[in-house]
Amino acid sequence: MTITKESYNNVNFCLKCGNVMLLGDDREGKMRPQCSECGWTFYKNPIPASACIILNDKNELVVIKRKYEPNAGGWALPSGYVEIDQTPAECAVDEMKEETGLDGEVLVQLGYDTEYSPIYEKVISFGFLMKITGGKLQAGDDAVEACYVSFDELPKIVFPSHIKFIGIVKALYSNEND
C-alpha cells in the first residue's frame, strides 16, 4: 500500500501544539504530515487486533457471525481491537469472553498478519490458540451467533488473517493425527 495524500485527509492540526500540519517528505523521504511550527511528524500506523482459535474437545472451531461492521453478517473468529492498556494476548482473552461467553487462556501465539481495513486502512492481527477454562458458548456483545463447526464445515470466513490462522491450526492438527 502506498501512502497518498488521501491517507492524511483528516490530519490538519498538530496534536502537540495545535498549529497547521503540512504534507511533505519527512527525513526518510516518505510523505507525511508535519507541523509547520514545532516540526512534529504524524505517523499513521496499523491498528492492532487479536483473533482467537478456540477448539472444543472434538476439535471443532468456534466461529461467530458478526453483528457490526466491518463485514456485519459475515463469519469470523472471535476477535477485536487491542485497547491501549492491553497486550494482544490480554485482548484475546477479553474478546473470547465478550463474543462467546467462554472463559479461557492463551495456549500459544500462532503468528500475525496484516490486511486492508475499510475503517483503519491497515490492521495487524495477532492469532492465538486458546484453551477453554469455563463458561458456556453463546453469542456475545459483537456477535449475532456463536457456534462450533468442524474444519470441514467452516462457513466462508470474511477476514484473510482469520483464514491464515485457521489454516495453521488445521495443519497442526492434521499432522498430529497422521
The catalytically annotated residue of 90, 145, 153, 176 is 145
Per DSSP, the residues of 9-36 read TT--B-TTT-PBEEEEE-TTS-EEEEET
Active site residue 145: yes
Q: What is the maximum span of the chain, computed from C-alpha positions, in angstroms?
A: 64
Residues 6+ apart with CB under 8 A from 162: 51, 76, 77, 79, 125, 127
What three-state secondary structure class fits 81? strand
Catalytic residues: 145
